[in-house]
A and B are shown apart, each in its own frame.
Chain A
Amino acid sequence: NAGVMQNPRHLVRRRGQEARLRCSPMKGHSHVYWYRQLPEEGLKFMVYLQKENIIDESGMPKERFSAEFPKEGPSILRIQQVVRGDSAAYFCASSPQGQGAGANVLTFGAGSRLTVL
């Protein structure tokens, strides 16, 4: 079991380019969470997805950011027209279910570090 896999681990983009971050959840996990961690700050919730559904995107900026979790393949966090303020570590976590005891033990990936020049 490879755990939660995120790629790329490091991504450098120039202002105005697009960034795509991928997350493959643990085997058997169908719930994915994305978080952003800015330097010297805590983890901020962005979005919660199940296969083919966005359940809660209340933490996502309204513009330029989008997320998906297709039936096949990894979850993708997409940032269009990146700006310097988007530079951060983006973490993905997965869990086997969304409700009930034990459901919220999130397993985290190693993160993707985005640098915008």
Chain B
Amino acid sequence: SQELEQSPQSLIVQEGKNLTINCTSSKTLYGLYWYKQKYGEGLIFLMMLQKGGEEKSHEKITAKLDEKKQQSSLHITASQPSHAGIYLCGAPGPGGNQFYFGTGTSLTVIP
């Protein structure tokens, strides 16, 4: 099965600071997806990256995909308390039938 390792496991930052979350795959990536989960709730889709070198931004969140390194990074600029939650990367398995998630990164933003 595909394994997605995220780092760091948890992060506490002061409001206004920038931060980066990384996701590394044990196998070839056929696309990489970022989701956010607020505590006690379901997941919300953030972004999808499908090509090596692809970079997408939405508001203050930017995600990049390095296909060769089987890695993706999620960068938040000028963090706000509303960014707090658990960030999960996800990717389809080689056969396309399964969809795996990373170990998750818990983000706390201190006002």
Interface residues on A, range: 20 to 34
Contact assessment for B96 and A98 in the assembled complex, using a CB-CB cutoff below 8 Å: yes
Interface size of B by Cβ–Cβ distance < 8 Å?
24
Instruction: Choose, from A12-20, A53-61, A67-75, the stretch at the interface.
Output: A53-61
27 contacts between A and B (CB under 8 A): A33-B99, A42-B101, A42-B103, A42-B104, A43-B43, A43-B101, A58-B1, A93-B43, A93-B99, A98-B97, A99-B96, A104-B31, A104-B33, A104-B48, A104-B99, A105-B45, A105-B48, A106-B33, A106-B45, A106-B90, A106-B99, A107-B45, A108-B35, A108-B43, A109-B42, A110-B42, A111-B42
B98 interface contact, C-beta 8 A: yes
Bound complex: CA of A93 vs CA of B100, how far in Å?
12
Give residues in B with beta carbon < 8 Å to A: 1, 31, 33, 35, 41-45, 48, 50, 88, 90, 92, 95-104
